[in-house]
Amino acid sequence: MALRITVIGAGICGATLADALARRGAQVTVIDQALPAGQATGGSFAWINSNNKPPRHYHDLSVRAMAEWRQLAASFGAPDWYTATGALTWAVTDRGRAALAEKVARLRDWEYPVEELTASAAAALEPALRLPADASFVFFPAEAYTHGPAVVDALLTRAQAHGAQVLTHEPVTGLTTVGGRVSGVRLASGRTVPGDLHVCCAGWRTPDLVEELAGGQVSLVPVDTVGSKAPCLIADLGLGQPAPIRRVILAPDITARPGGDGGVRVEAPDLTDRIHRHTPDAERAAMSADLVARTQRLLPDWEPRGSRQFQVCVRPLPVDGHPIVGWLASGLYVVVTHSGITLAPLLARLVCRELLDDHLDPVLTPYRPDRF
Ligand SMILES: Cc1cc2nc3c(=O)[nH]c(=O)nc-3n(C[C@H](O)[C@H](O)[C@H](O)COP(=O)(O)OP(=O)(O)OC[C@H]3O[C@@H](n4cnc5c(N)ncnc54)[C@H](O)[C@@H]3O)c2cc1C
């Protein structure tokens, strides 16, 4: 009889895993408290990269994950939710140039594809950008981006074609146990869904669900504190309009890429550092206006006329920055990670082999929950 596996959470981690498990013949039930991709995955910048992922083991994991994305996309033909056009960056100040040169040296040493460009070559890649003439330009040709909601939809649809059940608007409130082994999940609706194995992919809410059984093994940055690094500000500008850029742009004060529904998706690392869930409305509005102004400086001839949307999204952030992947208790497994867009397809493949074949891949050794 097929193994009954319950996946809690339909973000990128849950969706990639459900797809991989269902295609291997497991009887999969995916449960989300709301709609799929409604949390970090939907709000993500979704840049697929290993651009700044030291130490070496984490860099190598991310590079493998980039290759896994190419395979995943190819398995769907040529899906419009995966675009491998690389990423362009530049530095203007002495400090910025030094940091970029150091990064380029490290990435070259690690055999990561990096190209230094002239200003005219950079302008030819992205003609709509206002680029400083006197800057150091670098292109990362192997990088890509995706659109979280679209890829999750494709993965869940394929999982369903392989027999998976997807339950939405069904918050999981707890886990049931029999003889110390997790035997099912309790839903807010009062129903219990029995299973043989349970994988928690609930993003930043994971600790709430597993704490009782896992006892501190899922250690995430707290979300609600003033100054927490988990919340991010992200904006979609010019929704419905053609995108003026083709790839991920990492400018000194803003990052941008084509949006999933047209226009551009933008964020700024310094604003993300400052925003938290208690940021007063007026300050949040000023940050949003700042994001728009930076976009206009980057794309001076592009006028975002369509509608715009600003979101404060919460990232699941393990306290040491690295994935948490492994058994928490008998019958209960966890996958929670930052950079989950980049890593999820690879983690899904590795976890699928662990759950179905008992194959423990040494590449996951640094990321086991018992390190905390
Ligand atoms: C603004 C922003 C920018 C980012 N940029 C990048 C990037 O460029 N590259 C990159 O690789 N990563 C990036 N990330 C990180 C990445 O998006 C996340 O690591 C990834 O989306 C996490 O996926 P997940 O499936 O683990 O969690 P989520 O997408 O949060 O999904 C968890 C799901 O679990 C459900 N859930 C939670 N609790 C329950 C419950 N009790 N019952 C049922 N369901 C429940 C939620 O509804 C949700 O759908 C970014 C994140 C943000 C927010």
Per-residue pLDDT at 306: 81
Residues 120 and 166 in one domain: no
Residue 176 inside a domain? The answer is yes
Rg of the chain, C-alpha, whole Å: 21
Quick one: pLDDT at residue 146?
Answer: 98
Residue 49, pLDDT > 90, answer yes
Q: What is the predicted pLDDT for the residue at 1?
A: 83
Domains in the chain, number = 3
Q: Grade residue 314 by pLDDT with cuts at 50, 70 and 90.
A: very high
The finding on whether 39 has its CB within 6 A of some atom of ligand 1 is yes
Kindly state whether residues 34 and 91 are assigned to the same domain: no
Tell me, yes or no, whether 336 and 304 share the same domain.
Answer: no
Same domain? For 311 and 323 the reply is no
Q: Cα of 315 to ligand 1 centre, how many Å?
A: 6
Residues 323 and 189 placed together within one structural domain of the fold: yes
What mean pLDDT is predicted for residues 4-29?
98
Same domain, yes or no: 288 and 162: no
CATH number of domain containing 358:
3.50.50.60
Asked whether 342 lines ligand 1 (CB < 6 A), one says: yes
When pLDDT is averaged across residues 221-241 and rounded to a whole number, the result is 94
Same domain flag for 195 and 163: yes
Residue-range definition of the domain harbouring residue 272: 224-315
pTM summary value: 0.98
Predicted confidence (pLDDT) per residue in 279-312, tens digit: 999 999 999 999 999 999 999 999 998 899 999 9
Dihedral, 258, 138, 118, 81 alpha carbons, nearest 10: -20
Geometric angle at alpha carbon 219, from 217 and 222, rounded to 5°:
150
- Residue 46 Cβ contacting ligand 1 at under 6 Å: yes
Identify the residue with better confidence: 72 or 211: 72
Residue 64 belongs to a domain: no
| pLDDT value for 227 | 87
The mean pLDDT of the chain is 97
Instruction: Using the structure block, give the residue that is written with the tokens 């394929």.
Output: 158
Ligand 1 and 12: CB distance under 6 A = yes
Please state the length of the chain.
Answer: 372
217 — pLDDT class (breaks 50, 70, 90):
confident
Q: Is the CB of 313 under 6 A from ligand 1?
A: yes
- pLDDT tens-digit readout, 111-148: 999 999 999 999 999 999 999 989 999 999 999 999 99
pLDDT over 70, % of the chain: 100
| pLDDT at res. 195 | 98
Q: Which of 107, 141, 175 is the last residue before a domain boundary?
A: 141
Among 17, 35, 44, name the best residue to mutate to test ligand 1's pocket (greatest count of ligand atoms within 8 A of Cβ). Answer: 44
Q: Are residues 93 and 242 in the same domain?
A: no
State mean pLDDT over 4-12.
98
Segment 39-57 mean pLDDT: 98
